[in-house]
Chain A
Amino acid sequence: METAERYVRTWVASPRDKEIEDTVSGISDGQLKLVHVVKALGEYLTSEEDDLRNKGVEFLALVVGKSPLEKFNLQSIKVLVAFFASKLEDTETIIPALKGILAITRIPALSSENVIDICAAIFAHVKMQALVQVQRHTVFSIFDSLVAMHRDVLKSMGERFLSGYIALVDGEKDPRNLMIAFAIARVLAIEFDISIKFEDLFNITFCYFPITFRAPENDPYGITAEDLKLTLRSCLSASPLFGNLAVPLFLDKINAGSPVTKRDTLQTLSVCLPVYGSRVAGKFARQLWSSLKLEIFQPTDPETEEEALKATQVVIKTIYADEVTDAEVDGLAKDACEECIQILKEPEKSQAKPAIKVLCAFISTTPSVSRYTLSHVVPHLTKLSVDPDELPNRGAVLSLLASLIAASRDSALKVINSEDIFLLPFKDEVLGVLVLGLKGKSSLCPAIEGLSGLVTTPDLLDDDEIGFVVQKVNEVISDQQEDLGASDAALDLLKTISCNTPSHIARMTLPLLFSTLPEHAPVREDIEGREKYRRGLSALSHLCTQPDLFETLVVRLSVRLSFLYAPTTVPEDTEPSAAYAHALLSTLADVLARKVERGDLDVPKYVDRLVPRLFNLAAYGVLLAPKSPGGTGVADPRIISVSARLVNLVVQSLSAQKQETFASTLFAAYLKGEVATLAIGDLSLPADTRFSPFGLAAPEDQASLVPLFSGAVIALRPEARVKIPVDDEGAFLEELLNWSIRYAKNNTQRECAWQVVTAVVNKHALAQDLDAFLDATFSTFWNEEIATSPGPDTRRRAISAWAWISRALLVRGHPKALIFVDRLFELFGDADVGWDAARAIGQVGTADKELTKRNHAIIKILHAQKYASSTLPKIIAGAQDSTDPLRQTVHLVALAALIKAIPKTAYEHELPTLMPLLLRGLSLPDPTLRAGVIDTLLSAAQADVEAGAKTASEGSVITEHASSLASIMLQNSAASEMADTRVRVGALKYLAVLPKIVRYSVLHPQKATVLRELARASDDPKRAVRKEAVEARTSWFRYSG
């Protein structure tokens, strides 16, 4: 007792949490009783002084709030309720009293009389208007907890509770309180008997609709308009009783509101209407339809239109929810349907589109409506499309029909048996008019669209009918189509069919397409002939991904290739043959690449069926094939390169075991001359020629077969069993390096050799052999080939090779990578090769096509970031150091070469330092470097656009350089000053972006100049540049404060 008094006295003197906690812990362990506290508080509770009384009640409320719930017995609760209730009358103590009541409501032992007493007291004494938000929040929390825990008691209070509560909460405005109020209202609407009071409940909830609340900036409570909308929506859709009152309100808002309100209302309507039921929906059917129609036929924006269509579906679904499938449809659906059909009598007009959208929406409503719609609209459209008067509009009609077919295919209704495919009865007519449509130029595309709709509808067409479709579409692709879009669409349709029923395609379409491929290449002047086989090949490449079809393709094209390589009569000009062979091989490569992309399982088998043939053809082409004097034959590097791509794709897909076998055959052929086991095919190779592509004494052309070798080797897996089949890997690589910088005939061969070295180093860097190789390269190779070498050309090649090796190490996260790269910096002062070394630094960071996951390279994540963070600071420092202008420029070159290669995150934080350097980089004479810098700036600018840097308070980093950027980009965009198209395009793109990231006030003085200069750029000789100039100019015209 005395302790309690002491606590109370101390607390009243200076309120701190400690006394409360001490009191609560006293109560918890039984040392103190609640009675003691009340007694101790005695004088304060009845004090004449307002402040003291307030403090007294507050102390009690806090103690009650924190005390363990089981410490309260029935008696004490009753006393507390009565006490706090009485304190509600007193304006000075109402606030702590509410807190006390809130604490009590959480006690499970609260009896029903207590609940009733609390409600009665609150209804009687609390005036919400007199309270601030926090206190109103307490009131709402009290009811929230009562509704949650004592719902039945409240129900038994009946109307007394409802009217009291409704009167109390009327007029609330704060979103935090409304969130609770809406949740309570939903419970009341669902669980309480609101039949008498529903109008009042309607009034206190629907008055908030639509929500126009906008959360203030930096709102600590985080309540969004969306939260409020959803909570309110769940409240509005709580009771069917609201229906009659709510729908007119919704109609009002749809007709009069802003687009946002319209969308909100339509969404709310879609949620509420099913609850309100078919009677309400039926009653307002006409009004709803006329409002919704307006939104569909004269849409404010596409989203609202979409919502209106959804709402229409809901209306129909609600009205016809209970009807059986076969029932005759009457009422709204019928009328609306007829109205739309009326509009469809002018199929070419703009209103036809929304009309068909409505009908398509109907198809996904109820079975009866869906059946009704299709059975009326489809005959109408089929009749219209054969009507000779409507011939000019056939395309429009078929396009409407196509959307209907697609809608019926995608219908949300479940299809259990063929009875449920409502389109089935009309299938013959529809197929008929669509096939007829294939004949007309304007109706071709829609007809194909309709046919693909039919073909993709499950269980609609039978096998013969699909065959018929294939036959008719074949006619389309065999006609020479002017319109590329149509033949693409036709091919897409055939491709769709080929996925499920390839037999029709194999039987009918492929022979047709193969017949477009002549045995001999058309002569140089025969443009038509060339165009014909190209079209055939592009169709084949489109269609033949399916395994059976691909196999046929490989066989047929291989035969054609053999003819080309070993012709019976040698043409005078062999280049057309070479181009034809290239086209055939490219087709195979394109299809194969797509198959690999999809992960097809039939790819590996082509290591036996295709790869040996490719080697056979290539070897024959190099050794024996005829070649017109001075021209190119089938040993053309372009052909070799596409064959190499094919070999690469197949070898990638092999298992380790298969790769091992293949690798041994490959190496035996290339290193030991055993070509017969590798190059098996139709053409017989001469037995007397020694095959030795890497041989120094070999006939010149053989070296051109190296790409095929590298294509295979770079795809080998890193597993130990797929060892490179040579005695000493290191020695092999050394020889290869030596060959590459001294004996290889051209760049392609050199690069191929480096790809092999790179791939082996990347995958086997930990092997013993390679340690020696890397050490030797690091010291001997550097000293002899790079640091001191006879000629700058050899040095340049050696630097390239060095960069490749460094990249191989870097990608796998090898510790030596950075040591290798560092050596390149030593060359920066070299007048001959300084720039090459700088470019090589960029090359090391640049992603290549060889070291990829597909090729089984060992790739450590974040290697690029690591590279950037170790080299970038050094380069920046060098580029800023003006003591030696030559070295400074070389650093700038390195920066320009590197920056486009590394990920943006790696240099983002450095941008302020980098900007001046990049600007200087834009005046480097090498257009490739300039283009790289512009790309980098563009991607940084793009990020700024996305981040909204223009409006952000800190602005963009480029703001201070904006005006020099604008003028330097203008210089780079003029055809007279910059010959490289890429740079011009990039510069113009950048100019187009500038107004989006820099405030108008900054660039305002330059607007006139920029517009004038851009007018000149829009007269560029290149069309691609003019296009960008147009974009940039438009962007600047719109640029204003």
Chain B
Amino acid sequence: MDSQIFNPNPTIIATTQPIARRRATQAKLSLWLLDGDDDSKPIDADEVFDLIRSISDPEHRSMTLEQLAVVSAPQVTVTPNHILVEFTPTVPHCGMSTLIGLSIRVRLLRTLPTRFKIDIRVKPGSHQSEHAVNKQLNDKERVAAALENPALVDVLETCLESAGRR
């Protein structure tokens, strides 16, 4: 991996509670305390965000993408059968952007039902080579080629190791 450090001292934000801890509004509607809420709900932006929030940053392994404000719930858009994830690199010259995008893509490929089409984009204006990164991340062939590279897959796996943590 590249030994150059792009952002040695990134800003950290406080994390929020995952869905499981937040009481659904449905519970408020019920008259009795005992009635557990029925959690039959379609996949929404929060749930998708829960899937990717705990991915480790490739540059700062001890921190998650959420802590570095690379991904956030409002940056996820879910419509039936289509998901758009936008992410914000911590600095415009971040050379890890493609890797971060790729790790998000792999995580979503492995966790979401196949009916979804997934688009991953850098937040407009947040990266100097925005177009190139977007193109790379949404090109099926290139993603597949990247996943043939064992060294790259190794790095991805280490980033994704923490993804299941809450």
Contacts and interface: CB of A to CB of B under 8 A. Distances in A.
A1024 B10 contact: no
Contacts of A586: 33
Interface in A531-585: 531, 534, 575-576, 579, 582-583
Interface majority SS (helix, strand, loop, mixed), chain B? loop
B39 A1034 contact: no
Nearest to A1031: B164
Nearest to B33: A583
Interface in B13-67: 13-14, 17, 19-23, 28-29, 31-34, 39-41, 43, 47, 51, 60, 62-63
A582 B14 contact: no
Contact of A638 (B32, B40, B157): B32
Interface string A1009-1039: 0000001101101111011001101100110
A524 B31 contact: yes
A485 B22 CA distance: 9
A1033 B111 contact: yes
A586 to B, nearest CB: 6
A399 B67 CA distance: 15
A484 interface: yes
Contact of B111 (A524, A534, A1018, A1022): A1018
B40 A531 contact: no
A399 B163 CA distance: 26
A484 B21 contact: yes
A430 B41 CA distance: 46
A350 interface: yes
A350 B10 contact: yes
A582 B39 contact: no
| Residue among B32, B115, B157 having the largest count of chain A Cβ atoms under 10 Å | B32
A256 interface: no
Contacts of B140: none
A579 B28 CA distance: 13
Contacts of A531: 28
Contacts of A348: 11-13
Contact of B39 (A399, A442, A576, A1022): A1022
Interface in B148-165: 157, 160, 163-164
A889 to B, nearest CB: 33
A1026 B48 CA distance: 11
Contact of A350 (B12, B31, B39, B112): B12
A720 interface: no
Interface in A189-240: none
B12 A349 contact: yes
A652 to B, nearest CB: 23
Contacts of A1015: 113-114
A252 to B, nearest CB: 21
A1034 B12 contact: no
A92 interface: no
B164 A1034 contact: yes
A530 B12 contact: no
Interface in A310-350: 346, 348-350
Nearest to B34: A638
Given A351-B9, A353-B12, A582 B32 contact: yes
Contacts of A1027: 20
Contacts of A527: 28-29
Given A1026-B47, A1034-B110, A484 B22 contact: yes
A442 B20 CA distance: 21
A993 to B, nearest CB: 14
Given A582-B33, A1030-B51, A1024 B39 contact: yes
A831 to B, nearest CB: 37
A625 interface: no
B111 A1034 contact: yes
Nearest to A531: B28
A30 to B, nearest CB: 77
A346 B9 contact: yes
Contacts of B22: 484
B40 A1022 contact: yes
Interface in B111-155: 111-115
B61 to A, nearest CB: 9
B7 to A, nearest CB: 9
Nearest to B35: A579
A970 interface: no
Interface in A655-702: none
A974 to B, nearest CB: 13
Nearest to A1038: B157
Contact of A349 (B9, B17, B114): B9
Nearest to A442: B14
Nearest to A298: B8
A1015 B109 CA distance: 10
Nearest to A576: B31
Given A530-B28, A582-B32, A1026-B43, A1019 B11 contact: no
B10 A445 contact: no
A395 interface: yes
Contacts of A1023: 19, 39-41, 47
B14 A395 contact: yes
Contacts of A282: none
A575 B47 contact: no
A723 B81 CA distance: 68
A604 interface: no
A299 interface: yes
Interface in A348-399: 348-351, 353, 395-396, 399
A1019 B115 contact: yes
Nearest to A534: B33
Contacts of A1021: 40
Contacts of B9: 346, 349-351
Interface string B89-126: 00000000000000000000011111100000000000
Contacts of A1022: 39-40
Contacts of A1018: 111-113
Interface in A417-476: 442, 445
Given A351-B9, A395-B14, A579 B32 contact: yes
Contacts of B47: 1023, 1026
A638 B111 CA distance: 40
Nearest to B166: A1027
Nearest to B106: A1037
A353 B10 CA distance: 11
Contacts of A576: 31
B11 A350 contact: yes
A295 to B, nearest CB: 13
Contacts of B68: 350
Nearest to B112: A1018
B60 A1033 contact: no
Contacts of A399: 14
Contacts of B14: 395, 399, 442, 445
A1033 B115 CA distance: 16
Contacts of B113: 1015-1016, 1018-1019
Interface string A605-646: 000000000000000000000000000000000100000000
Nearest to B113: A1019
Interface of A: 299, 302, 346, 348-351, 353, 395-396, 399, 442, 445, 484-485, 524, 527, 530-531, 534, 575-576, 579, 582-583, 586, 638, 1015-1016, 1018-1019, 1021-1024, 1026-1027, 1030-1031, 1033-1034, 1037-1038
User: Closest 9 interchain pairs by CB?
Assistant: A1019-B113, A1023-B39, A1030-B111, A351-B9, A349-B9, A579-B31, A1021-B40, A348-B11, A579-B32
14 contacts: A349-B12, A350-B10, A350-B12, A484-B17, A484-B23, A579-B33, A582-B32, A1019-B113, A1023-B41, A1027-B20, A1030-B111, A1031-B164, A1034-B110, A1034-B164
Given A1022-B39, A1030-B51, 20 more contacts: A348-B12, A350-B60, A395-B14, A396-B12, A442-B14, A484-B21, A527-B28, A527-B29, A530-B31, A579-B31, A1015-B113, A1018-B111, A1018-B112, A1023-B47, A1026-B47, A1027-B20, A1030-B111, A1034-B163, A1034-B164, A1037-B110
